[in-house]
């Protein structure tokens, strides 16, 4: 009984130890599992890290590529804007095709060479300076004075003489004999005398064709009698497109065409007749606002005793025109006429 007990106890112990062994084994298995799990986790981690590293590398490469292409684009824009500014300088200053292309090519090659060879900066600037043209180079200005003669006509003539410049006077009949010498003086001093109107009264000049023709012919004869010169150049009082008076201008134009008289309007106005007084600085600004637009500018000014600010502006205007490279001339019948209504349509 006691042995049995003992053996039972022993058996119990053996069983216990077996159980413990099993537990140990279980623990080992669990450990192994934990190790496996750890290993698995480590693998996942390393894969994630690798993937992240690859992604980071790709992002870096992409950024590098983007930055370098951006740099190339910016450099391209700079180059383009440099070339554009060079071209636009040429466009504003150049006149005929040949003059435009030559300096433009020269400047483009200069900009490339100055970018690659910094040491040539001085020479390149000097060459670019030489290539830049004045705004009026190759362009002609026809100064025209309407409504004279007046107390100011001789002042105008003296200023024109001072700068050796010729102009055109669209004259009216004198109010009294004291002005009569001035017509011939205009011609003798080398300027063009042209027909404006005998009476300059819109209601008379534009009342009907007979009246219009009589006004033109009277003034043509008047000029001839005082100067010995037959003028074939005319300016409509108020301009060819004005609607002053009763007449349709098409009849007037047909009449002038039949007489071989060329009429000139203007494409640049000094604005000196806009108000009773226009400041000289405003007159100059009005002229230079439009002057660069045309190869041939016909500038409207007035020769009238009340237009003192025109006389004050004149010298400064002429000096500036000459400084900017414009050529100043008097009109003649061979100059392409500036017309608000084209005579060729009638
Ligand atoms: Zn007038």
Statement: residue 135 has pLDDT above 60: yes
Q: 281 C-alpha vs ligand 1 centroid, how far in Å?
A: 22
Q: How confident is the model at residue 122 (pLDDT cuts 50, 70, 90)?
A: very low
Greater model confidence, 253 or 68: 253
Interval 171-197 mean pLDDT: 95
How many Å lie between the centroid of ligand 1 and the Cα of residue 194? 12
Ligand 1 centroid to Cα of residue 287, in Å, is 18
Within a 10 A sphere around the Cβ of 306, how many other Cβ atoms? 15
294 compared with 111, residue with greater pLDDT: 294
Residue with token string 């022993």: 10
Q: Which residue has the higher pLDDT, 138 or 17?
A: 138
| Cα-to-centroid distance, 168 and ligand 1 (Å) | 13
Q: How far, in Å, from the CA of 28 to the mean position of ligand 1?
A: 120
Per-position b or e across 265-280, b if 16+ CB within 10 A of its CB: bbbbbbbbbeeeebeb
Distance CA 31, CA 147 (A): 118
Whole-number Å distance, alpha carbon 23 to ligand 1 midpoint, is: 126
Compute the mean pLDDT over every residue in the chain, rounded to the nearest whole number: 77
d(CA 205, CA 161): 34
User: Does the structure show a pLDDT above 80 at 297?
Assistant: yes
pTM exceeds 0.75: no
> Quick one: how many helices (H) and strands (E) in the chain?
10, 8
| Angle in degrees, CA 140, 141, 143, rounded to 5 | 155
How far, in Å, is the centroid of ligand 1 from the Cα of 199? 10
pLDDT in the model for residue 212? 98
| pLDDT for the residue 175 | 77
* Statement: residue 35 has pLDDT above 70: no
Ligand 1 geometric centre to CA of 340 (Å) = 16
Strand (E) or helix (H) holding 132: none
Closest CA to 95 of 136, 46, 156: 136
- Report the pLDDT value the prediction gives residue 242, as an integer from 0 to 100: 93
Distance 296 CA to ligand 1 centre (A): 22
3-state secondary structure of 204: helix
53: pLDDT strictly greater than 80: no
Band (177; pLDDT cuts 50, 70, 90): confident
Say what the pLDDT of residue 244 is. 92
Cβ contacts of 153 within 8 Å, gap of 6 or more: 145, 169, 179, 182, 186, 303
pLDDT tier at 31 (50, 70, 90 boundaries)? low
CA-to-CA distance for 285 and 279, rounded, in angstroms? Answer: 10
CB atoms closer than 10 angstroms to residue 58:
10
What value does the mean pLDDT take over residues 50-58? Answer: 63
| Ligand 1: centre distance to CA 285 (Å) | 22
* Distance from the alpha carbon of residue 73 to the mean position of ligand 1, in angstroms: 59
What integer pLDDT is reported at residue 2 of this predicted model?
43
Higher pLDDT, residue 32 or 313: 313
- The rounded percent of the chain whose pLDDT value lies above 90 is 58
Q: Is the pLDDT of residue 65 over 80?
A: no
Query: How far does residue 165's CA lie from ligand 1's centre (Å)?
Result: 22
Bigger pLDDT: 58 or 258?
Answer: 258
Where residue 320 falls among pLDDT bands split at 50, 70, 90? Answer: very high
What's phi and psi for 198, nearest 5 deg? -75, -45
Instruction: Answer yes or no: is pLDDT of 328 > 70.
Output: yes
Going from the Cα of 324 to the center of ligand 1, the distance in angstroms, rounded, reads 29
Task: Report CA(197)–ligand 1 centroid distance (Å).
Answer: 8
88-102 burial, b for 16+ CB within 10 Å, e for fewer? ebbeebbeeeeebee
Does residue 272 surpass a pLDDT of 60? yes
pLDDT at 155 (0 to 100): 96
Q: Which residues surround ligand 1, an ion (CB under 5 A)?
A: 146-147, 237
Res. 71: pLDDT tops 50 = no
Q: How far is the CA of 346 from the centre of ligand 1 (A)?
A: 24
CA distance 39 to 85: 68
Ligand 1 mean position, distance from CA 332 (Å) = 19
103-117, 242-256, 259-273: least confident range? 103-117
Torsion of CA 263, 325, 188, 225, to 10 degrees: 10
Binned at pLDDT 50, 70 and 90, residue 286 comes out as: very high
Q: What is the pLDDT averaged over residues 321-328? A: 98
Span from the CA of 204 to the centroid of ligand 1 (angstroms)? 14
User: What pLDDT, on a 0 to 100 scale, did the predictor assign at position 58?
Assistant: 62
Predicted local confidence at residue 42, as pLDDT: 66
State mean pLDDT over 217-241. Answer: 97
State mean pLDDT over 79-85.
36
Distance 200 CA to ligand 1 centre (A): 7
């Amino acid at each position: 009984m006691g042995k049995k007990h003992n053996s039972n106890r022993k058996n119990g112990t053996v069983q216990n130890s077996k159980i413990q062994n099993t537990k140990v084994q279980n623990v080992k298995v669990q450990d192994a599992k934990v190790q496996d799990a750890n290993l698995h986790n480590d693998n996942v981690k390393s894969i994630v890290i690798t993937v992240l590293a690859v992604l980071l590398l790709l992002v870096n490469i992409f950024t590098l590529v983007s930055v370098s292409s951006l740099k190339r684009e910016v450099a391209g824009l700079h180059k383009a804007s440099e070339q554009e500014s060079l071209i636009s300088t040429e466009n504003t200053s150049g006149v005929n095709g040949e003059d435009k292309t030559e300096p433009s090519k020269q400047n483009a090659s200069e900009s490339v060479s100055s970018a690659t060879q910094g040491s040539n900066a001085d020479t390149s600037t000097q060459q670019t300076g030489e290539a830049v043209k004045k705004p009026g180079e190759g362009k002609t200005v026809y100064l025209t004075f309407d409504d004279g003669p007046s107390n100011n006509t001789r002042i105008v003539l003296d200023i024109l003489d001072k700068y050796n410049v010729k102009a055109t006077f669209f004259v009216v009949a004198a109010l009294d004999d004291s002005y009569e010498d001035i017509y011939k003086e205009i011609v003798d001093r080398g300027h063009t005398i042209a027909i404006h109107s005998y009476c300059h009264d819109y209601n008379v000049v534009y009342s009907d064709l007979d009246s219009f023709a009589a006004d033109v012919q009277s003034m043509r004869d008047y000029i001839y009698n005082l100067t010995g010169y037959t003028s074939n150049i005319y300016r409509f009082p108020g301009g060819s497109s004005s609607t002053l008076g009763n007449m349709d201008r098409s009849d007037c134009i047909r009449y002038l065409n039949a007489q071989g008289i060329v009429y000139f309007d203007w494409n640049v106005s000094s604005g000196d007749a806009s108000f009773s007084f226009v400041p000289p600085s405003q007159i100059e600004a009005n002229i230079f606002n439009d002057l660069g637009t045309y190869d041939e500018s016909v500038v409207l000014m007035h020769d009238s005793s009340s237009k003192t600010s025109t006389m004050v502006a004149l010298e400064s205007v002429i000096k500036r025109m000459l400084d900017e490279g414009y050529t100043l001339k008097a009109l003649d019948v061979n100059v392409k006429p500036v017309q608000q209504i084209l005579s060729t349509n009638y």
